[in-house]
Amino acid sequence: MPIANIDRSLQAGILADLKETWRQQIPVFRKQQEKLLKYLPDSNIRNATWAWKESVPFPQYWPYGTGRKAQAFRDRYLTLGKYNYELTIPWSRWDEEDDQLGDLRSHIQIAVQRYGQLPDVLISEYFNNVADLNPSILNAFDGAALFSTVDGDGADRLGVSGGNIITGSGLTPDGIIHDFAQVQQRALSFIDPTAGKPILSPEEADFSKMFAIVPNSANEVFQKTAQSEYLKISGENIVSESNWLKGIFEWQTNPYLTDTSDWYVVLEHSFWKPFVFREPKNVESIIADMQNSDSARETGEYKLHTHVRCALGPWFPGVIFKVNN
């Protein structure tokens, strides 16, 4: 009697599992990353350009009997390519015959989760200022690095001395609280280059809108800062004061940070984001097996080839700050 070849059905199940895991997992990572990323409109151009408005006009005095004076927006643009990222998972056909498919499915799920974590790694390379998965570390729209005291022309970034780099006060609860206050003061000082008015309102720079990204080693001190009712303010451990920042801000550890003392603050803004992202639409995949691969027929090793096309770049430095300890 004829024997049914189940290779096709097994592989169809693998690919279906891959797509389902992508559908379930990617929204989870997207929720975590939305504080940092502006998702760019889709474009099939490899190196595409997006225009945006840097400045917002401010109301002006309108004397009685005079005509109106139109105010122009200040146009900016950013250009970002699209890059390939691949992940190949090999397995032996003999493992498949020995009913090891469950192990393979676990690898597939992990692979999709790794794609979901890819923006985290790309972002962290800007924190560490070292490109690995990013083809290069790009400058922000003003011609300077994402974290800089000056813009590309050597002027104070966004009109403020120090730009978006804060001199840290040390990794202690009182030091962290002071640095959050420094971040707020710096954010409220940023000036719109065209209108000459503050970019952010007090409500937009409220402490409740601040999200800290910290190295793993700083988790304990941030736990104390965020949750302690009182903080010690004297070396003799006999004087303390109320922690006015308790329960107000959010923080998250980042395992990719290489510096153990520097940390970062992001303002959750409805429009401005620190980064832009050309996101992949799906994981494209193919299985190399006995049916389509000379190598698989020769070695008995199958491969699941997956890849995505995406890219990340810096956008607006006025809503992200480096606390440099």
Output the pLDDT for position 136: 95
What pLDDT digit, counting tens, does each position of 2-38 carry? 333 334 445 666 677 777 777 776 776 777 788 899 9
Residues 191-244 pLDDT 10s: 988 778 899 999 999 999 999 999 999 999 999 898 888 776 555 555 567 888
Question: What is the reported pLDDT for 4?
Answer: 37
Q: How confident is residue 117, by pLDDT bands cut at 50, 70 and 90?
A: confident
Q: How confident is the model at residue 103 (pLDDT cuts 50, 70, 90)?
A: low
Lowest mean pLDDT among 21-25, 104-108, 180-184, 287-291: 104-108
Question: Residue 109 above 90 pLDDT?
Answer: no
The whole-number average pLDDT for the span 250-274 is: 94
Evaluate if residue 53 carries a pLDDT over 60: yes
Return mean pLDDT, the chain: 85
Q: Does the pLDDT of residue 108 top 60, yes or no?
A: yes
Please say if the pLDDT value at position 294 is more than 90.
no
Task: Give the pLDDT confidence score for residue 14 in this predicted structure.
Answer: 66
147 pLDDT above the threshold of 70:
yes
Q: What percent of the chain has pLDDT over 90?
A: 48
pLDDT recorded at residue 1:
31
How does residue 247 score in pLDDT terms, banded at 50, 70 and 90?
Answer: confident
Secondary structure string (H, E, C) spanning the chain: CCCCCCHHHHHHHHHHHHHHHHHHHHHHHHHHHCCCEEECCCCCCCCEEEEEECCCCCCCCCCCCCCCCCCCCCEEEEEECCEEEEEEEEEEHHHHHCCCHHHHHHHHHHHHHHHHHHHHHHHHHHHHCCCCCCCCCCCCCCCCCCCCCECCCCCEHHHCCCCCEEECCCCCHHHHHHHHHHHHHHHHHCECCCCCCECCCCCCCCHHHEEEEEEHHHHHHHHHHHHCCEEECCCCCCCEEECCCCCCCEEEEECCCCCCCCEEEEECCCCCCCEEEECCCCCEEEEECCCCCHHHHHHCEEEEEEEEEEEEEECCHHHEEEEEC
Per domain, the residue ranges of the chain are 7-52+75-324
Q: Which pLDDT tens digit goes with each residue over 80-89?
A: 999 999 988 8
